[in-house]
Amino acid sequence: MERLKFASAQDLRKRIQDEFIASQTVHPVVGSIIEGKATQDQLRGFGRQMWAIPKYNYAVAGGKVSQLQPLPDDPYGMGVPYDLKVQKHFLNIIIDEAGTEVFPNAPTHGHYELYLRFAEEIGIPREEMERVDIFLPQVVVAMESWVRMARDLPLVESAIGMNWINEIRFSKMGSLIETALKKHYGLSERATEFWSAHGEQDKQHSSIGPYLVEQYATTPDIQERVWIAAKRGAGIWMIILDTIWMEYFEKGRAR
């Protein structure tokens, strides 16, 4: 098998930037919501399936913290020992996710709670959101892969696929969706806070990506693995949004 080749860590950073970030366009699901064209059923479908990401926020943020230092037998040497910048970054994400219910100085309520408020106001009761079978089969697979990435991959890989690639997307989408939810769907400030919080915080959460690549993706083996992780992160996002499009917009599924 031909191996992937990158001239340097900087080259890899640039190619991830071009391939997975700069070239991205607004997904039709997000486009429909932004324009106020999505029906209430479609908006609820989006609300149910996107829940896969915030629902497991502790598993994901905690999984990454477990990778903050390499295991003694870490075969790839991809941990990030004693890098205070990186450690602070990922511990701060936990504080943001957990919110003021756990850390009084956190910027907002916990993201889990904020999402439930959003869901409630678009007409999905909390009990339904807590049901095990709320997710479509494709989303179950995406969600499992999402949690596994955080738990199993060395931080330099999961941070690229998850924080860099996806939080940039989430941050752009967050601000656009917040505006649309108020303008076209009449949602309150309380119900859109999940989206405004992510517009802001995810910009900051994703900022660690380029630093990690340049600092730690310094061998051909690690560079190849980071590239695959970026692809995997982009794939999870595509599975969730494409599935929402197919099921709720094309097939007209009600729930």
Minimum CB distance to Fe ion smaller for 114 or for 160: 114
Q: How far is the CB of 240 from Fe ion (least distance, A)?
A: 15
Q: Which stretch binds Fe ion (CB under 5 A): 42-50, 109-117, 145-153, 234-242?
A: 109-117
Minimum CB distance to Fe ion smaller for 13 or for 111: 111
* CB contact at 8 A, 9 and 223: yes
From CA 145, how far away is CA 166, in angstroms rounded? 14
* CB contact at 8 A, 171 and 199: yes
With binding defined as CB under 5 A, does residue 55 bind Fe ion? no
Q: Which stretch binds Fe ion (CB under 5 A): 24-32, 34-42, 100-108, 111-119?
A: 111-119
Q: Which token pair is 158?
A: 């999961």
Per the rule left: phi > 0, alpha: psi between -120 and 50, beta: everything else, 57 is: alpha
Amino acid at 201: Q
**Which residue from 55, 111, 169, 232 is in contact with Fe ion, where contact means CB under 5 A?**
111
From CA 4, how far away is CA 102, in angstroms rounded? 44
Minimum CB distance to Fe ion smaller for 78 or for 181: 181
Segment holding 252, helix H or strand E:
none
Minimum CB distance to Fe ion smaller for 48 or for 111: 111
Q: Which of residues 127-156 bind Fe ion (CB under 5 A)?
A: none
Interaction site with Fe ion (CB under 5 A): 111
